[in-house]
Amino acid sequence: MTDAPKVPRKRKNPATKPQAEAADPTASALYVQSVEKAMKVLTAFDGSKRQLSLSEIASLTGFDLSATQRFTFTLAALGYLFKDADSRKYELSPKLLDFTYHYLTSNELVSRATPYLQQLGSETEEATNLTVLDDTDIVFVLRIVSRNVFNAHVITGSRLPAYCTAPGLAILATLPDGEVDDILSRTNLVPYTSSTVYQPRKIKDRIAQIRKQGYAHTEDEYFVSDISTAAAITNAHGRGIGAVNIAVARSRWHADRDERRFADLVISTASAISTRRRVE
C-alpha cells in the first residue's frame, strides 16, 4: 500500500495568528522558573488558613520538602514570610502590603476615580466600588463603605467571578464577543445561589442587553440579599478598563425607585472617569 500524496499546507501569516495559538510564555528562554516557584509558595496562602506548615506548603505547591524549605527560608529572610518560633509554621508578613500600597498610589485609574466614588458614596449612603477585570475575575481596587454596608468581608483585593457580578458583566459587555467566549470557556460557571445566571447562552443574552441599556444589574447572584448596579469605565477605544458599582442590601432596596436612580448615577460616574476619545 502506497502512502497518500502529501498536500502542501498553506503557510499562516504570523501576524494573523489567533491569540489563543500564541506561544506559551513559560517556554521562553526569558522565563525564570524560580520566580514562578517562589510565587507558588506565596499564593499557597489563600486565606483559608492563617498559618501553614512546611509539609502543607509542599503539598499545596507540589514541591518536595527540600525545595519548599529553600523557598520558604529565602522568602522569610526577605521579609515576605514570618515563621512562628513556637509552631514553626509560616504566615504572610505585612511587608506584602507594600505591593498593594504601591499599586494603589501609582495607579492612574484609582487616583482618577477616588473623588468620584467618594461623592457617589456620600450621595447614596451605600457602598461604592471600583473594580478591574483580572483574567476571569473582578478585583476590588477601591471600596468606599458606609454605615449601611451589606458585606464587610468584601475588602480591597477581594476577587469575585465576572460572569455573575454587576461590575464584571458591565466590563464584559464592552469586550468583543470572541473575547467574552474565551473568558467564559475558562471560567468555572457554577450557581452560587438559586438566582445565579450561569449558563453561557443566558450570560451572553444578558451581555447583549447590557450593551443596549448601558449598565448591569444583579440581585442575589453571588451573595444572597446583595443587589448591585454597575457601569463600565472605558478607555479612548471604548474598552472597559474598570467598573463603578453601588451595592445595596435587599432590606434597603426599593425596586420602583432605586434601579433607575442608581443606574443613572453609575452611568454618569463611570462616564466622568472614562478616558475621552481624542479628536484629531
pLDDT digits (tens, 9 = 90+) for 123-172: 999 999 999 999 999 999 999 987 777 676 888 999 999 999 999 999 99
The CATH number given to whatever domain includes residue 75 is: 1.10.10.10
pLDDT digits (tens, 9 = 90+) for 108-124: 999 999 999 999 999 99
Q: In the Cβ-directed half-sphere of 44, how many Cα atoms lie within 13 Å?
A: 26
In this predicted structure, which of 21-25, 54-58, 240-244 has the lowest mean pLDDT?
21-25
pLDDT digits (tens, 9 = 90+) for 56-101: 999 999 999 999 999 999 999 999 999 999 999 999 999 999 999 9
pLDDT at 19 over 50: no
In a domain, 25, yes or no: yes
Residue 3 CB contacts under 8 Å (≥ 6 apart), including other chains: none
pLDDT at 280 over 60: no
3-state helix/strand/coil string of the chain = CCCCCCCCCCCCCHHHCCHHHCCCHHHCCCCCHHHHHHHHHHHCCCCCCCCECHHHHHHHHCCCHHHHHHHHHHHHHCCCEEECCCCCCEEECHHHHHHHHHHHHHCHHHHHHHHHHHHHHHHHCCEEEEEEEECCEEEEEEEECCCCCCCCCCCCCCEEEHHHCHHHHHHHCCCCHHHHHHHHHCCCCCCCCCCCCCCHHHHHHHHHHHHHHCCEEEECCCCCCEEEEEEEEECCCCCEEEEEEEEEEHHHCCHHHHHHHHHHHHHHHHHHHCCCCCCC
pLDDT band at 277 (very low <50, low <70, confident <90, very high): low
- With a pLDDT cut of 90, the percent of the chain lying above it is 79
pTM attached to this predicted model: 0.83
pLDDT band at 17 (very low <50, low <70, confident <90, very high): very low
Q: Do residues 69 and 151 share a domain?
A: no
Residue 21: predicted pLDDT? 46
Q: What angle do CA 241, 100, 110 make, to 5 degrees?
A: 35
Q: Do residues 181 and 255 share a domain?
A: yes
pLDDT at 51 over 80: yes
- Average pLDDT (228-251) is 96
Q: Do residues 74 and 118 share a domain?
A: no
Domain that holds residue 163: 107-273
Residue 145: predicted pLDDT? 86
In a domain, 101, yes or no: no
Residue 97: predicted pLDDT? 93
- Average pLDDT (7-25) is 49
Q: What angle do CA 149, 154, 160 make, to 5 degrees?
A: 130
The CATH number given to whatever domain includes residue 205 is: 3.30.450.40
Q: Kindly state the cell numbers that stand for 115.
A: 473623588
Q: Do residues 87 and 112 share a domain?
A: no
The position carrying cell 521562553 is 28
Q: Do residues 174 and 216 share a domain?
A: yes
pLDDT band at 180 (very low <50, low <70, confident <90, very high): very high
Average pLDDT across the chain, whole number: 89
In a domain, 279, yes or no: no
Name the domain boundary from 93, 120, 140. 93
Tally of residues, the chain: 280
In a domain, 5, yes or no: no
pLDDT at 194 over 80: yes
